[in-house]
Amino acid sequence: MSTNHELFQRALQLMPGGVNSPVRAFKSVGGEPFFTARADGAYLWDVEDTRYIDYVGSWGPMIVGHNHPRVREAVERAVRDGLSFGTPSPAEVTMAETITRLVPSVEMVRMVNSGTEATMSAIRLARGATGRDKIVKFEGCYHGHGDSFLVKAGSGALTFGVPTSPGVPKAAADLTLTLPYNDLAAAKTLFAKHGAEIAGLIIEPVAGNMNCIPPKDGYLQGLRDLCTRHGAVLIFDEVMTGFRVSLGGAQAHYGVVPDLTTFGKVIGGGMPVGAYGGRRELMEQVAPSGPIYQAGTLSGNPVAMAAGLAMLELVQAPGFHDALGARTRLLCDGLQAVADGEGVPLSTNRVGGMFGLFFTSEKVQSYAQATAADTALFNRFFHGMLKRGVYLAPSAFEAGFLSSAHSEQDIADTLEAARGALREARQH
């Protein structure tokens, strides 16, 4: 059996940075990534059989824990009937019925294969439907790696300090207007100037790619009103928040209705799935019922639909999201108490089963505050936790995720690890 180090050395020769998605490479926290051999419940085991309590959850999908038997069995059943048909299949209809029932603003939906595809398709629709070219996004928000979104982007783009990627044509970047998150006055000013050119505004209704930053009271409604007034399409990117911060996503949690919504992660149960949907009159403009083209050979894949449907079934259990939120609170309050006890400035944010840790004494509500927190301390803390068997996202600019498989004991073990890791990190 290869060790983590051996695998990484081989990988480095063969894949850029040794990985298939940048943040996995541990570049910002330093050191080398571990290679996962298997996962179950709240845990990952690497190839050396070291166990980690996992707060990444495959970056969000594993909301019921890894390798849940109901999801696994649904996939096993589906596989027996074939892997891909390229024709419509019944599970796609059930999936569309489920999504439109759980998220009422979504009257029609189109399945795709990733969050990136969902957001790219949603802005094409916004542009096609309005006949306008400009889109608005927020500094530190990440919507996948489409050209239009890699402008002042969060997640890996922020972690690696290349907020606008080489390779994005200037002509494409010029069509993306950016705004500071949680600053309604700035949005009003922008719309006053450019309102007539704006096809759509896309936002993470709870930002999760500059760490975790919830919207201020009234902020999302303020954006809703601006879009309505100026005829722009409001797109909530619920790739992270969908079916997680509440059963109906952030839009249900905050009571604000977007025109279009994008999904990923939980909706696929761990399979490569995304979706976009929204108002019927908009979605009817998508091919083949309308002229706005978007397609996918594997879209609505029967195995992926089976995994997603099993997952969506599980999150509909009564009290699921309340329990997840309570666990997340237990973790965040516990970490706060540990940090206070150790005299380390820490502030936490959380919404439902999503959380963020910032090494600062301020309540973090903006990109500027998130990037001003002590990331060097975070990096030392990350490694201290990893050494103690707790895996946090390997970047100060990623949200953390809990699952229903995280037990009170797991949280107690995490807090114990945090005490040791903070003592060590602080002494540096």
Show which residues are catalytic: 142, 237, 265
Q: How many residues does the chain have?
A: 428
Rounded to the nearest whole angstrom, what is the least distance from the CB of residue 131 to ligand PMP in the complex?
Answer: 25
Of positions 46, 54, 139, 237, contacts ligand PMP by CB under 6 A: 237
Site for ligand PMP in 262-291 (CB under 6 A): 264, 274
The yes or no reply on residue 211 touching ligand PMP (CB under 6 A) is no
Cβ atoms 396, 373 nearer than 8 A: yes
Count the site residues for ligand PMP by CB under 6 A. 17
Of positions 89, 105, 114, 178, contacts ligand PMP by CB under 6 A: 114
Nearer to ligand PMP, 183 or 204 (CB): 204
Rounded to the nearest whole angstrom, what is the least distance from the CB of residue 241 to ligand PMP in the complex?
Answer: 8
- Burial (CB < 10 A; 0-12, 13-18, 19+), residue 86, is exposed
Residue nearest to ligand PMP (CB): 115
The yes or no reply on residue 245 touching ligand PMP (CB under 6 A) is no
- One-letter amino acid identity for 144? G
Rounded to the nearest whole angstrom, what is the least distance from the CB of residue 29 to ligand PMP in the complex?
Answer: 18
Of positions 240, 247, 385, 425, contacts ligand PMP by CB under 6 A: 240
3-state secondary structure the chain: CCCHHHHHHHHHHHCHHHCCCHHHHCCCCCCCCCCEEEEEECEEEECCCCEEEECCHHHCCCCCCECCHHHHHHHHHHHHCCCCCCCCCHHHHHHHHHHHHHCCCCCEEEEECCHHHHHHHHHHHHHHHHCCCEEEEECCCCCCCCHHHCCCCCCHHHHCCCCCCCCCCHHHHCCEEEECCCCHHHHHHHHHHHHHHEEEEEECCCECCCCCECCCCCHHHHHHHHHHHHCCEEEEECCCCCCCCCCCHHHHHHCCCCCEEEECHHHHECECCEEEEECHHHHCCECCCCCECCCCCCCCCHHHHHHHHHHHHHHCCCCHHHHHHHHHHHHHHHHHHHHHHHCCCCEEEEECCEEEEECCCCCCCCHHHHHHCCHHHHHHHHHHHHHCCEECCCCCCCCEECCCCCCHHHHHHHHHHHHHHHHHHHCC
Rounded to the nearest whole angstrom, what is the least distance from the CB of residue 50 to ligand PMP in the complex?
Answer: 25
Of positions 56, 212, 239, 425, contacts ligand PMP by CB under 6 A: 239
Nearer to ligand PMP, 58 or 336 (CB): 58
Nearer to ligand PMP, 275 or 405 (CB): 275
Site for ligand PMP in 140-159 (CB under 6 A): 142-144, 155
Nearer to ligand PMP, 92 or 398 (CB): 398
Nearer to ligand PMP, 312 or 346 (CB): 312
Of positions 8, 55, 59, 276, contacts ligand PMP by CB under 6 A: 59
The yes or no reply on residue 116 touching ligand PMP (CB under 6 A) is yes
Nearer to ligand PMP, 237 or 259 (CB): 237
The yes or no reply on residue 209 touching ligand PMP (CB under 6 A) is yes
Q: Segment contacting ligand PMP (CB under 6 A): 137-145, 278-286, 351-359, 401-409? A: 137-145
Q: Segment contacting ligand PMP (CB under 6 A): 40-48, 108-116, 284-292, 365-373? A: 108-116
The yes or no reply on residue 119 touching ligand PMP (CB under 6 A) is yes
| Binding stretches for ligand PMP (CB under 6 A) | 59, 114-116, 119, 142-144, 155, 204, 208-209, 237, 239-240, 264, 274
